[in-house]
Amino acid sequence: MPPVATTTPTGGGPRVLAHPSRDAIRLEDVLHALADPVRLSIVRVLADAEGECSCSVFDAPVSKSTLTHHFRVLREHGVITQTYRGTAKMNALRREDLADLFPGLLDTVLAAARRQEAAGLSAGAGAAAAGATSPS
Amino acid sequence: MPPVATTTPTGGGPRVLAHPSRDAIRLEDVLHALADPVRLSIVRVLADAEGECSCSVFDAPVSKSTLTHHFRVLREHGVITQTYRGTAKMNALRREDLADLFPGLLDTVLAAARRQEAAGLSAGAGAAAAGATSPS
DNA sequence: GCAGAACTACGATGGTCCTCGTACATCGGA
DNA sequence: TCCGATGTACGAGGACCATCGTAGTTCTGC
């Protein structure tokens, strides 16, 4: 919960979104942002896109409000940048900032996510299956 | 919240602690476990120790109950192993399992944590400086 | 100006998490 | 056997989070 600098220059419409400065990005916040399945999938899509993409290309199993919330969390925690572009809002990973602050972190997490998904696809969907819960 | 296998063989005293199997370790859970400052510091100490160490060597600014809670979270999320050794309980990182599931993740996070601490020591403590939080 | 599209803000709800104090269990040793 | 040390379990309180629906704002195009 870093005090995101609400860079609202004029008092009017908040057409400029607040982003934390690079030095204000905290590792715990980034990890927390990445710890949510929905947000992690967003980051994965963004990483594959290799550029900007609007909010509406994501098909997460949540409502639009919730998606907005997750985007905001990602932005306020320094994981992505968001800019208005007409009626759409473009999202992009802060690859440079993150790579500079925490070298390799983003790539490692993304690789781990892909790896886990690949393993999960072959291991069956029932997440409870692996639990074993050995009945004595 | 993975269904940790409650491996309680005999109905009596739970002298054997439940650990998730390697395949049951989820990336989101590991990230969540690492997203807490207290737990991250625990993991850092454990990483520096390069082996087992008891619960009582940590001087986190929390009560003993809370520390126990964090250790349990780390264990149930697959980050550490815990074994009884007399009155003490030894903790150790699951380096192998994590390295196998998510190559480089642990080392990257640990390096990021060290990096952030080093930067934070020179940047001063006043985190609220960048905040501004301009009330519209 | 007006309709539609894209997105946000707000409030509410239910759940999870962090923290703690207190009481209890286990082990080693006197 | 009894005591101290180590650590757990339980319950509670307060904060935070994820989710949603609804209403509102901003921009584009006719």
For the segment A34-77, what is each residue's pLDDT rounded down to a tens digit?
Answer: 999 999 999 999 998 876 778 878 888 899 999 999 999 999 99
A85 against B107, higher pLDDT? B107
Tokens 């002298």, located at residue: B15
pLDDT of residue B128: 37
Contact (Cβ atoms closer than 8 angstroms) between residue B5 and residue A116: no
The structure's pTM equals 0.82
pLDDT of residue A23: 92
Q: How far, in Å, CA of A87 to CA of B130, rounded?
A: 30
pLDDT of residue B109: 97
Question: Which of A47-61, A111-125, B64-78 is modeled with the greatest confidence?
Answer: B64-78
Rounded to the nearest angstrom, the minimum Cα separation between B121 and chain A is 13
User: Distance in angstroms, CA of A86 to C1' of D26?
Assistant: 9
A6 against A20, higher pLDDT? A20
For an interface test with B, give the residue of A32, A79, A108 to mutate (most B CBs within 10 A).
A108
Q: Specify burial of residue B23 (Cβ count, 10 A radius: 0-12, 13-18, 19+).
A: middle
Measured from the Cβ of residue B81, the count of other Cβ atoms closer than 10 Å reads 16
Q: Residue B48 corresponds to which amino acid?
A: D
Say yes or no to pLDDT of A3 above 60. no
A28: CB within 7 A of chain D nucleic strand: no
pLDDT of residue B77: 96
Say yes or no to pLDDT of B116 above 60. yes
Q: What percent of chain B has pLDDT over 90?
A: 59
- Name the nearest CA neighbour of A100 among A34, A51, A27: A27
Q: How far, in Å, CA of B50 to CA of B102, rounded?
A: 19
Confidence of residue B15 (pLDDT cuts 50, 70, 90): low
Q: How far, in Å, CA of A109 to CA of B104, rounded?
A: 9
Residue with nearest Cα to nucleotide C26 C1': B87
The H-assigned helical ranges of A4-104 are 27-34, 37-49, 64-76, 95-101
Confidence of residue A10 (pLDDT cuts 50, 70, 90): very low
Cβ–Cβ gap B108/A111 under 8 Å: no
User: Distance in angstroms, CA of A83 to C1' of D20?
Assistant: 25
- Residue B128: DSSP 8-state: G
B8 against A96, higher pLDDT? A96
Complete domains list, chain A, with CATH: 9-102 (1.10.10.10)
Q: How far is CA B124 from CA A87, B60, B61, B114, B128, in A?
A: 41, 21, 20, 16, 11
pLDDT of residue B75: 96
Measured from the Cβ of residue B117, the count of other Cβ atoms closer than 10 Å reads 12
Q: How far, in Å, CA of B126 to CA of B70, rounded?
A: 27
pLDDT of residue A75: 96
**Mean pLDDT, residues A81-96 taken together:** 91
pLDDT of residue A83: 92
Q: In whole numbers, what is the pLDDT of chain A averaged over residues?
A: 81
Cβ–Cβ gap A32/B35 under 8 Å: yes
